[in-house]
A = this chain, B = another copy of it.
Amino acid sequence: MRSLILNNIINTRRNLNLVLQHVKILREGQAYSTSVPLLPDPAALKILPENDIKEFNSYYPIVRNDIVTNKLVSDIPKLNERLERMLDYNAKEGRKLRPYLMIATYKYFTNEEDRTPENIRLMNILGWFIELMNAAYVMQDDIVDNSETRRGKPTWFKCKDVGINAVFDASLIESTCIQLLKTHFSAHKNYNKMLDAFLEMLRMTRVGFVVEAATVFDEFSEDLYYVIAQHKMGYYLLQFTTTLGTLLANKEDLMICQKAGRVFNELGCLYTIQVSQNCHLILF
């Protein structure tokens, strides 16, 4: 477990010690202090080698096509056009941290002979479902935060012909990915658990959205901050992605390891503090 965090998330033993210092500060209720060096920005970490990234990106047109032309929506040209436009606008240019973490986890838990062309194909498709769900998450997060721009262009809901309909665009992406998961993975021994991880991610991030959206500034407390960080970051960035990686690799250890969940929550909280202090957008 420590080793997985070391290799795929934090990268060096020095950083793990740093994490533990931060966790200690946080749990002892001390005021957060910059006297302890910041954790490395996960967006700046090299999670995957260039070749894997290139391969992953080559699957985007395949998965987009799958979503836009799947038989359930293929007779509604208006919907196909809109799906194509919203995916290109929102999903292509993300940082792709979550699929990379899932892929790194999958590779960590498998041997060369497990990684058949078919398994690599499934791994990349699963990665894109994670990334498309994240595009939907980001579209909604921008609404909660009333953000004007993202990645140098207007946020989707600020586009003049979108507005509040961004909400339904986002939930259509989510629903379609959830149903297409079945198409590709229903034969996988861990399919039910993979589906459950997606559904639990949706619930956890909704808890984060609702608590954040319903909190007015003067009520804000450290406890609420922790709840939001735990749901929107600890679970979603770390536990969700590594759980899917282990499930795809036919390993279940990580998911049932409660200690891992606690470590991820602490890490999520720390990253949230850091990105709040630096740049809010850095992790998406």
Name which residue of chain B comes closest to A165, CB basis.
B213
Q: Given A82-B214, A175-B202, A207-B73 in contact, is the A140-B168 Cβ separation under 8 Å?
A: yes
Chain B residues lying within 8 Å of A167, measured Cβ to Cβ, are 140, 143, 167
Binds B, one of A89-97, A103-111, A192-200, A248-256: A192-200
Q: Given A143-B167, A213-B168, A227-B76 in contact, is the A182-B207 Cβ separation under 8 Å?
A: no
CA A165 to CA B167, docked complex, whole Å: 11
Q: How many residues on chain A are close to B (CB under 8 Å)?
A: 39
Shortest distance from the beta carbon of A110 to any chain B beta carbon, whole Å: 27
Point out residues on A near B: beta carbons under 8 Å. Answer: 72-73, 76, 78-79, 82, 140, 143-144, 164-165, 167-169, 171-172, 175-176, 178-179, 182, 192, 195-196, 199-200, 202-203, 206-207, 209-211, 213-215, 219, 224, 227
Chain B residues lying within 8 Å of A182, measured Cβ to Cβ, are 196
Chain B residues lying within 8 Å of A203, measured Cβ to Cβ, are 72, 172, 175-176, 178-179
